[in-house]
């Protein structure tokens, strides 16, 4: 599938549960082919204590304290909408060089496939989150009726453990209750009669059933009874009856293999949108977000598992599992074109302030209306801001950002790397430099190459406002 005009799922950019499995190969191909991917989430709540309201004005939390609070929050609340926007540079596009963008929006539902051993989830909303999303037109009915599935790595490991426990339990014999003995004698009598009849009138199977049916416990003791008393025969359970057949080694092996295959198919469906996160991690595609510290913590909790207790272990996980991570808020705070006041770095404000900038050109959003706080739209807005801001900072320049304020020893070499990269940064040229480059060749007005020292300075630096350090550095 070519990375070109928006054709995936017709003109739809929102993928629901009914479409997801069919569209998954195309989505994975888009991620594989893209240059970078922008990501955004909407949450069912943020904050570790739903009863909180008082703020200690005399205490500014450290980064470690904010991280701990977010980990507790992510344990209670969930990502309920996910937006991705794969972007690819097209230097030879039909009309002019551009970044081709493909935004998609996914409601993410908490539902669990019934065949996964009764595994269940709690789902919590904060009242403030409900109020906020309702004001912004969030469709809660669509979330629960059509939302895509997901399954974290830690959850999957737990479910596989439940399966192993069940398989081991099925092999252990249990002592029948006295009131069940007549039922077992009835089964014995039917099987003996059938075996005798097979001597003169062979029939390949015997169906054993009764009007009241059989519960799970009764099925188990009947199965072990047949195995013990009639080792040359095997019982196969259907919805309402047991079918007794001559033992066949190949058939029994195929039954076991089919059960495992069915289990793996259910797991694959349940993984849902996690397939997309796994692909981004596998390929280490540059990941772009806006003010994304919270997104990263929630993403870990929902798609990986419990975040590490220590923030430095979380840092190491991100460094090892992802490629370059860029925060467009950090870019905006250091760009003179957008950094007019404290509100200028919000995503809607960035879109307004960058609207005059034609190049680098990026595809317009496929729906002709603003949809602020819809994750797919915000992911596209993040991609657009990233393209524009990085070009401004690279060509026009800016004041050099301050070094990271974190004191962790694991960042010593990273700080040295930043200082060395700053030493090679050319002096501020002004916005006119972008115009000059544009006149030379529009194809040159693009984001810096991923190997550029520019990303040593502006990549891996994530804003965490309201904390002592103010920044989380990768």
- Return the pLDDT at 20: 95
Q: Are strands 287-289 and 325-327 parallel, antiparallel or unpaired?
A: parallel
Which numeric CATH code is attached to 17-150+272-473?
3.30.420.10
- Return the pLDDT at 337: 59
For residue 315, give the H/E element and its range: helix 311-321
The whole model's pTM is what? 0.88
Write out the DSSP string of 398-418.
Answer: -PPPPPP----GGGHHHHHHH
What are φ and ψ of residue 301, in 5° steps? -60, -40
Q: How far is CA 22 from CA 25, 235, 428, in A?
A: 7, 37, 49
Q: How far is CA 462 from the centre of its chain?
A: 20
What distance in Å separates the CA atoms of residue 117 and residue 158, rounded to the nearest whole number?
Answer: 10
Which regions of the chain carry the CATH code 3.30.420.10? 17-150+272-473
Per-residue pLDDT of the chain (474 residues; tens, 9 = 90+): 344 433 343 446 899 999 999 999 999 999 999 999 999 999 999 975 544 545 556 788 999 999 999 999 999 999 999 999 999 999 888 888 899 999 999 999 999 988 888 888 988 999 999 999 999 899 999 999 999 999 999 999 999 999 898 888 877 888 889 998 999 999 999 999 998 888 777 778 899 998 888 998 899 899 999 989 999 998 888 888 999 998 888 888 998 899 899 999 999 999 999 999 999 999 999 999 999 999 999 999 999 999 999 999 999 999 999 999 999 999 999 886 555 544 467 888 888 888 888 889 998 887 666 677 899 999 999 999 999 999 999 988 888 999 999 999 999 999 999 999 999 988 887 777 877 787 788 788 899 999 999 999 999 999 999 999 999 999
What distance in Å separates the CA atoms of residue 224 and residue 427, rounded to the nearest whole number?
Answer: 81
Angle at which helices 311-321 and 63-76 pack, to 10 degrees? 70
**Residues with Cβ within 8 Å of residue 21, at least 6 apart in sequence:** 269
- Return the pLDDT at 146: 95
- Return the pLDDT at 74: 95
What distance in Å separates the CA atoms of residue 37 and residue 458, rounded to the nearest whole number?
Answer: 17
Q: Which residue, 294, 282, 275, 290, is CA-closest to 323?
A: 282
Which regions of the chain carry the CATH code 3.30.1370.50? 159-268
Which numeric CATH code is attached to 159-268?
3.30.1370.50
- Return the pLDDT at 304: 97
- Return the pLDDT at 381: 93
Contact yes or no for 295/289 (Cβ under 8 A): yes
């Amino acid at each position: 599938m070519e990375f070109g005009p928006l054709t995936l799922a017709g003109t739809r950019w929102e993928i629901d549960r009914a479409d997801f499995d069919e569209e998954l190969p195309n989505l994975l191909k888009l991620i594989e082919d893209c240059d970078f991917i922008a990501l955004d989430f909407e949450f069912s709540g943020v904050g570790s204590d739903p009863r909180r309201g008082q703020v200690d004005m005399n205490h500014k939390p450290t980064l470690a304290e904010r991280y701990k609070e977010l980990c507790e929050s992510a344990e209670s609340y969930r990502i309920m909408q996910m937006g991705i926007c794969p972007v690819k540079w097209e230097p030879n596009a039909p009309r002019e060089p551009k970044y081709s963008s493909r935004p998609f929006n996914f409601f993410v539902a908490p539902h669990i496939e019934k065949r996964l051993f009764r595994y269940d989830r709690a789902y919590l909303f904060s009242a403030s989150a409900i109020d906020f999303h309702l004001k912004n037109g969030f469709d809660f009915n669509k979330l629960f009726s059509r939302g895509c599935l997901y399954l974290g790595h830690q959850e999957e490991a737990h479910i596989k453990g439940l399966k192993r426990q069940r398989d081991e339990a099925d092999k252990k014999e249990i002592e029948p209750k006295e009131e069940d003995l007549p039922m077992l004698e009835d089964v014995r009598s039917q099987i003996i009669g059938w075996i005798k009849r097979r001597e003169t009138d062979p029939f390949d199977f015997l169906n054993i059933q009764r009007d009241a049916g059989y519960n799970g416990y009764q099925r188990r003791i009947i199965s072990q009874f047949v195995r013990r008393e009639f080792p040359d025969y095997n019982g196969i359970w259907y919805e309402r009856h047991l079918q007794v057949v001559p033992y066949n080694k190949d058939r029994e092996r195929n039954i076991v293999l089919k059960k495992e295959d069915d289990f793996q198919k259910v797991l694959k469906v349940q993984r849902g949108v996690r397939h997309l996160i796994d692909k981004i991690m596998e390929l280490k595609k540059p990941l772009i977000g806006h003010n994304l510290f919270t997104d990263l913590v929630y993403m870990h909790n929902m798609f990986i598992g419990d975040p590490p207790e220590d923030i430095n272990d979380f840092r190491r996980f991100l460094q090892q599992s992802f490629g370059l991570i860029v925060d467009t808020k950090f870019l905006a705070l250091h760009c003179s074109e957008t950094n007019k006041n404290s509100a200028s770095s919000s995503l809607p404000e960035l879109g307004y302030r960058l609207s005059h900038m034609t190049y680098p050109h990026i595809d317009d959003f496929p729906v002709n209306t603003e949809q602020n706080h819809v994750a797919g739209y915000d992911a596209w807005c993040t991609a657009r801001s990233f393209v524009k801001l990085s070009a401004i900072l690279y060509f026009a320049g800016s004041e050099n950002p301050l070094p990271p304020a974190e004191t962790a020893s694991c960042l010593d070499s990273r700080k040295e790397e930043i200082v060395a990269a700053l030493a090679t940064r050319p002096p501020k040229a002004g916005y006119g430099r972008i115009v000059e480059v544009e006149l030379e060749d529009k194809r040159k007005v693009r984001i810096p190459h991923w190997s550029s020292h520019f990303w040593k300075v502006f990549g891996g630096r994530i804003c965490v406002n309201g904390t002592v350090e103010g920044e989380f550095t990768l």
